Chains A and B, each alone.
Chain A
Amino acid sequence: MIAELGLVALWLAAALAGLQFLGGWLGARSDNAELAALVRPAAVLQAGLCAFSFACLVYLFVVTDLSVALVANNSHSMKPMIFKIAGAWSNHEGSMLLWVSVMAVAGGLIALVERRLPESTMLATLAAQAFVGLGFYAFMLISSNPFARLLQPPADGNGLNPLLQDVAAAYHPTTLYVGYVGLSVAFSFAVGALLTRQVTPEFARVMRPWVLGAWIFLTVGITAGSYWAYYELGWGGWWFWDPVENASLMPWLAATALLHSASVLAARDALRAWTIMLGVVAFSMSMIGTFLVRSGILTSVHAFAVDPERGSFILILLALYIGGALVVFAMRASTVSEGERFSPMSREGALVVNNVALSAILAIVLLGTLYPLLTEAFGVRVSVGPPYFNPVSAIFFLPMLLVMAVGPLLNWRKDQFARVRLPVIVISVAGIGVLLGAWLLSDMGLLPLLGLALSIAVGVGSFLPMRGRSLRRLPLPVWGMCIAHFGIAVGVFGMAADSAFQQERLVAVAVGGETSVGPWRARLNAVEPIAGPNWTAMQADMEVSHDGGAWRTANPQQRNFWQPPQETSEVALITRWNGQLYVAVGTETEDGRWQLRLWWKPFVTWIWYGGLLIALGGALALVGRVSVDLRRRSAARQIAARKAEVTA
């Protein structure tokens, strides 16, 4: 019953999307007021129905309704409840339902809330959003129905991949999707503005908070995914430039550039073409990413739901939407005639460098990810991995950091070096000092060395915009910017420190024996079997001590799940302010000793703290802008009310 309700809701939502599309299109073109009046309610209703459909799916997983094929294939009655729920979106059909739900809800929200743009632009935007949504509804209803029933319900389900049975499965896919798919709003706004020739500062001001919201979630989602891979896969790696990882990074790069570009457009009516282009590119990358991950044409540790037939469907959607948006842009290129001028030594100038650098990194990540696909078409198989991505992206990332340290200090339109001479000196001294110190005192590689120095430079520079201003009256968006940039510095510092200073120990230890790594000593007291709700494990009973200090327990496990049968390594993490001890236990050797893997990873947690700081900065900026907007609206309402009083 619930499954059928969910399916019906999905169909109705799709129908409403069709209505929203037609109403928006015809309403914008012919100024048909009746049709236009239907569009916003249709969008809101669509959002409600889609959310209801998603709730139905979650319910089916909560009660483990095995007559539904998706539940039977991906769940199990003995799974802990949180993983039953997370299992709803940890598969192809469920995550596609999440996709269309986020699109619908995002569209519904802008329909409900956004009143600042000319009505024709809003209609065109909502029509574009519905047009994209229709394709994905069709995809779901035709080839990826999450509510399909099984004629013969099995006795129990297949269970969820043990690697996914972790609390991060609850928040990583969801935040990632809200971010990823939330960027569809930027796409629709861009297309809507192009079609109605409204690429203006007001348009940028309207688009900005929505992009910011999606971007915050995307940042959290990527950070969460990186941390999850780090502790779940058992080897201490936090980024591998894997195709699925890149698929989430590329929209983020575009969205970051879009945020900055929209700010320029909003403040100075410049960078119009950049803003539109980035708006289109960001969601295009989301769509390309979902294609790469679901079609099976790329090999990845993360790849799920490999199905070329589904891949073909998504490819058609890609061609339609991305091709369509680019064609619209080309045809309306005159709309985005050149905006206000500015001198290279200005904040706009710095942001142009930022845009160029981020776009270049995006292009390189796309190139590296797709290159094996290209050569395979000619019969040659190559692998492109971290040894390529790290240095080549650094070519653009490092100069970008340099500009980022100083850019926020510059004035709009035209500035002079003399004005910022002192901050630049402070930043340079800090950066060069660290560079020389680290170079002389350690044997770090070039890339980590430069990363370390630049992270200090950016860290110092990120708070300089606050210099000379009253901290209590500083606008929230400025706080947000400083904290977000500081977050980048913290993250880069963590990456550089971990890559340069980490120490590894692989050793076979007998029970009762000891080993060491870096400043840590570790004792293996026992290895005992232990059982959980749907797994058994061999748990190592260990104690570790930092620099001769107090002994703390560490209990890494080698875990065996039974439905489906899989082995995972559960690592033990001991966290200090300056790094993490990462302990994994392996198998028993023939002579009764146990394989241990220990890493001392200095400052590795700063990578994810940095990510969270970036998201926090974004959140502060968002709150700041939204509260300003709300105040302006209430002020406008009061003025209108008083006018009405006066004239009455």
Chain B
Amino acid sequence: MNRLRWFLWGAVAVASALFALFAYQLSQPKQEFVQSAMVGKPMPAFSLPPASSSRPGLSAADLADGTPRLLNVWGSWCVPCAAEAPQLDALERSGANIVAIAIRDRPENVDRFLEVYGNPFTRIGRDDISEVQLSLGSSGVPETFVIDGTGRITYQHIGDIRPEQVPKILEELRKAGA
């Protein structure tokens, strides 16, 4: 009898802990995005052909030449990418060196997008089957990475960049040695 009672009060305790977990998780904002696990690790080796007639392609060597950069993963078919174009311009004007990888994009669509929204990129690589995107641990577009001079990924920003987030990205770029 005693054993049953102990077991039941134990069940009450377990149930209470469970409900506490539920309550806690209810209070947390839902985590929509999958963070890259490559932050802090070196860029994987890759070499991409140009996505646009206006800029050269992109390779890992271009990212390890001593200059910290922003790497923007985007696609002309992605609506939030258009929304963040002004912020990317602002970053470029503040001195950031931005390179890009265009995911699953035709060159003519890339060119048209850049015509309409401006071109803050120094290089644009073409990734037709998301191969480099996968190797970066990026799970969607748009995403922006901070790469330091040695080619190490130091920060990841998921989603389009809002105006109020520009200072933070500049800060991360500074920390990477810009």
Stretch at the interface among A374-382, A395-403, A606-614, A618-626: A374-382
* Cβ contact within 8 Å between A370 and B18: yes
* Cβ contact within 8 Å between B8 and A333: yes
* Cβ contact within 8 Å between B4 and A323: no
Instruction: State whether the Cβ of B19 lies closer than 8 Å to any Cβ in chain A.
Output: yes
* Cβ contact within 8 Å between B31 and A381: yes
Q: Report the bound CA distance from A360 to B26 in whole Å.
A: 27
- B26 interface neighbour in A312, A329, A336, A376, Cβ under 8 Å: A312
Dominant SS among interface residues on chain A: helix
Q: Report the bound CA distance from A514 to B1 in whole Å.
A: 71
* Cβ contact within 8 Å between A377 and B34: no
Q: A308-B26, A374-B21 are in contact. Are A326 and B5 (CB under 8 A)?
A: no
Instruction: State whether the Cβ of B30 lies closer than 8 Å to any Cβ in chain A.
Output: yes
Count of chain A to chain B residue pairs whose CB atoms are closer than 8 Å in the complex: 64
Chosen A-B contacts, 17 in total, with CB atoms closer than 8 Å, are A273-B4, A295-B26, A296-B30, A297-B30, A306-B30, A308-B26, A312-B26, A315-B19, A319-B19, A323-B16, A327-B12, A330-B5, A333-B1, A334-B1, A336-B4, A370-B21, A377-B24
Q: A323-B12, A330-B5 are in contact. Are A318 and B19 (CB under 8 A)?
A: yes
Q: A297-B26, A376-B25 are in contact. List 13 more A-B contacts (CB 8 A).
A: A297-B22, A308-B27, A311-B26, A318-B22, A323-B15, A326-B8, A326-B11, A330-B5, A330-B9, A333-B1, A333-B4, A373-B22, A381-B35
Dominant SS among interface residues on chain B: helix
* Cβ contact within 8 Å between B12 and A330: yes
Q: Report the bound CA distance from A68 to B23 in whole Å.
A: 32
CB proximity of A293 to chain B, nearest CB, Å = 13
- B21 interface neighbour in A319, A333, A338, A373, Cβ under 8 Å: A373
Name the B residues within 8 Å of A370 (CB-CB): 18, 21
Q: A323-B15, A333-B4, A381-B34 are in contact. Are A291 and B9 (CB under 8 A)?
A: no
Name the B residues within 8 Å of A329 (CB-CB): 8
Interface size (A, Cβ < 8 Å)? Answer: 29
Instruction: State whether the Cβ of A337 lies closer than 8 Å to any Cβ in chain B.
Output: yes
Q: Report the bound CA distance from A273 to B11 in whole Å.
A: 14
Q: A273-B4, A381-B34 are in contact. Are A326 and B12 (CB under 8 A)?
A: yes
Q: 9 closest A-B pairs (Cβ-Cβ)? A: A330-B8, A333-B5, A297-B25, A326-B12, A333-B4, A308-B26, A319-B19, A311-B26, A330-B9
- A: which residues have CB within 8 A of B? 273, 291, 295-297, 306, 308, 311-312, 315, 318-319, 322-323, 326-327, 329-330, 333-334, 336-338, 370, 373-374, 376-377, 381
* Cβ contact within 8 Å between A377 and B12: no
Name the A residues within 8 Å of B30 (CB-CB): 296-297, 306
* Cβ contact within 8 Å between B25 and A377: yes
Q: A326-B11, A326-B12, A376-B31 are in contact. Are A291 and B4 (CB under 8 A)?
A: no
Q: Report the bound CA distance from A20 to B28 in whole Å.
A: 38
Name the B residues within 8 Å of A297 (CB-CB): 22, 25-26, 30
* Cβ contact within 8 Å between B21 and A315: no
CB proximity of B118 to chain A, nearest CB, Å = 31
Name the B residues within 8 Å of A273 (CB-CB): 4
Q: Report the bound CA distance from A206 to B12 in whole Å.
A: 27
Chain B 28-47 interface 0/1 with A at a Cβ cutoff of 8 Å (1 = within): 10110011000000000000
